[in-house]
Amino acid sequence: ELKVEQNPLFLSMQEGKNYTIYCNYSTTSDRLYWYRQDPGKSLESLFVLLSNGAVKQEGRLMASLDTKARLSTLHITAAVHDLSATYFCAVEWGSGGGADGLTFGKGTHLIIQP
């Protein structure tokens, strides 16, 4: 059974600081996704990582994937209040090559204080 663990689960940080969220998973997979969820809202796709060594950046967020270590990181640079949300990583299981089911982590609840 594929397990996905995120840490930390809760994070309170100040604006302007840097921090990293970690996502570990238990079985081999080459596809990892990061989503953002605002309170009471649906999930918004942030990054799609499809191979070992993949790195994607969008604004103050950067995601990377190390499939050998079964680890992905989401790095926040110079945090701003608007980035406050819950961040989920998700790993694809199944045969791959298409839209297979995803296993999500429990999420990291991020609060960025002015």
Partner 1 sequence: DAGVTQSPTHLIKTRGQQVTLRCSPKSGHDTVSWYQQALGQGPQFIFQYYEEEERQRGNFPDRFSGHQFPNYSSELNVNALLLGDSALYLCASSPLMMSTGELFFGEGSRLTVL
- Which residues neighbour 102 within 8 Å (Cβ) at sequence distance 6 or greater? 33, 90, 91, 92, 93
Residue 85 engages partner 1 in binding (rule: CB under 8 A): no
Q: How far is CA 33 from CA 14, 46, 53, 73, in A?
A: 26, 8, 14, 11
Residues 32-51 that bind partner 1 (CB under 8 A): 33, 35, 41-45, 48, 50
Residue 26 engages partner 1 in binding (rule: CB under 8 A): no
Residues 54-73 that bind partner 1 (CB under 8 A): none
| 54, 65, 79, 105: which one binds partner 1 (CB under 8 A) | 105
Residue 111 engages partner 1 in binding (rule: CB under 8 A): no
CA 87 to CA 110: how far, in whole Å? 7
CA dihedral angle for residue 24, residue 28, residue 29, residue 30, rounded to 10 degrees? 100
User: Which residues face 32 on adjacent strands?
Assistant: 49, 91
In the complex, least distance from residue 94 CB atom to partner 1, rounded to whole angstroms:
6
* Tokens describing residue 46: 């942030």
In the complex, least distance from residue 69 CB atom to partner 1, rounded to whole angstroms:
21
Residue ranges that bind partner 1, judged by CB under 8 A = 4, 31, 33, 35, 41-45, 48, 50, 88, 90, 92, 94, 96, 98-107
